[in-house]
């Protein structure tokens, strides 16, 4: 699978060094209190990092701030060595930060093929678009079989695959995934996570928010547990999976 962008230079970060870092992030909505209350985390080049936590912990809010769709009230964000704290969304996108939001936002009346073509907006006429297309059909054969079908007629799991594939058509450096397994059949969720591992092996750094902690910890190298807007626990995923404190960090009980 080819992941380098045809015109954007590759990240300067070395493997294992931070691609994205956030320090002391506070994020909230309108006049209400902070939802994210002082979060610091790193995502290193080439890693899959999981962000897990109970409903309402602030995971989506944090992810949206990292994608520069919500402002940081306090704190500092850096991406590939540059201060990204005040970047507009389109700047983040241009640098290769791609968010797949919760709930599969595919263009329902358009075909699978048209949805994928829209994802390649930043290298539309380059041979690289065709290559991405072929790679993604190999990665998600179910999409390959449904190219002419309107996206709205796909199953939930297939729509999630399409949403991820469309994001990959833009050849991002960092993929932010919000609840990829939400509402899809367990077998399809397993396949989706296998694809996420393949995507990361091909060179795309991944931060994923996920309710299915078993899948998230199995796929990721490291994980952060968010509770009430703060990091309650962090560490290598293999260790957290067996950590007696994990449950308490997650549920607070």
Give the footprint of ligand ATP on this chain (CB under 6 A): 29, 35, 53, 55-61
CB of 54 to ligand ATP, least distance (A): 7
When the beta carbons of 80 and 178 are compared against ligand ATP, the nearer one is 178
Q: Measured between alpha carbons, how far is 212 from 59 in angstroms, rounded to an integer?
A: 13
Which DSSP state fits 150? B
Beta strand residue intervals within 62-215, DSSP E: 74-79, 82-83, 97-100, 174-178, 205-209
Nearer to ligand ATP by Cβ, of 58 and 172: the residue is: 58
Task: Select 29 or 251, whichever has its Cβ closest to ligand ATP.
Answer: 29
Tell me the closest approach of the beta carbon of residue 141 to ligand ATP, in angstroms.
30
Query: 56 vs 183, which CB is nearer to ligand ATP?
Result: 56
CA–CA gap between residue 15 and residue 93 (Å, rounded): 21
Tokens linked to 7: 């015109």
CA angle 155, 160, 164 (to 5 degrees): 145
Identify the three-state secondary structure at position 219: helix
Query: In this complex, which beta carbon is closest to ligand ATP, that of residue 60 or of residue 111?
Result: 60
In angstroms, rounded to a whole number, what is the distance separating the alpha carbons of residues 205 and 122? 19
Q: How far is the CB of 121 from ligand ATP (least distance, A)?
A: 26
Q: Cβ 41 to ligand ATP, closest distance in Å?
A: 14
Are 148 and 116 spatial neighbours (Cβ–Cβ below 8 Å)? no
Closest distance of CB 179 from ligand ATP, Å: 7
């Amino acid at each position: 699978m080819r992941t380098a962008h045809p015109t954007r230079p590759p990240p300067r970060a070395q493997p294992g060094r931070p691609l994205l870092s956030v320090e002391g992030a506070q994020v909230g909505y309108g006049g209400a209190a902070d939802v994210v209350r002082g979060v610091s985390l790193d995502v290193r080049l080439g890693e899959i990092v999981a962000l897990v936590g109970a409903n309402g912990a602030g995971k989506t809010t944090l992810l949206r701030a990292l994608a520069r769709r919500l402002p940081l009230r306090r704190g500092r964000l850096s991406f590939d060595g540059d201060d990204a704290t005040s970047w507009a969304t389109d700047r983040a996108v241009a640098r290769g930060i791609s968010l797949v939001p919760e709930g599969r936002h595919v263009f329902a009346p358009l075909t699978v093929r048209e949805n994928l073509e829209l994802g390649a907006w930043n290298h539309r006429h380059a041979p690289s678009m065709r290559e991405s297309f072929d790679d993604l059909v190999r990665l998600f054969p179910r999409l390959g079989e449904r190219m002419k079908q309107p996206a709205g007629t796909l199953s939930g799991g297939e729509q999630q695959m399409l949403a991820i594939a469309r994001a990959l058509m833009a050849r991002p450096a960092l993929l932010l995934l919000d609840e990829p397994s939400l509402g899809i059949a367990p077998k399809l969720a397993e396949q989706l996570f296998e694809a996420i591992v393949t995507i990361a092996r091909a060179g795309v750094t991944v931060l994923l928010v996920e309710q299915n902690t078993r899948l998230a910890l199995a796929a990721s190298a490291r994980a952060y547990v968010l509770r009430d807007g703060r990091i309650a626990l962090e560490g290598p995923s293999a260790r957290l999976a067996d950590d007696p404190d994990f449950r308490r960090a997650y549920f607070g009980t």
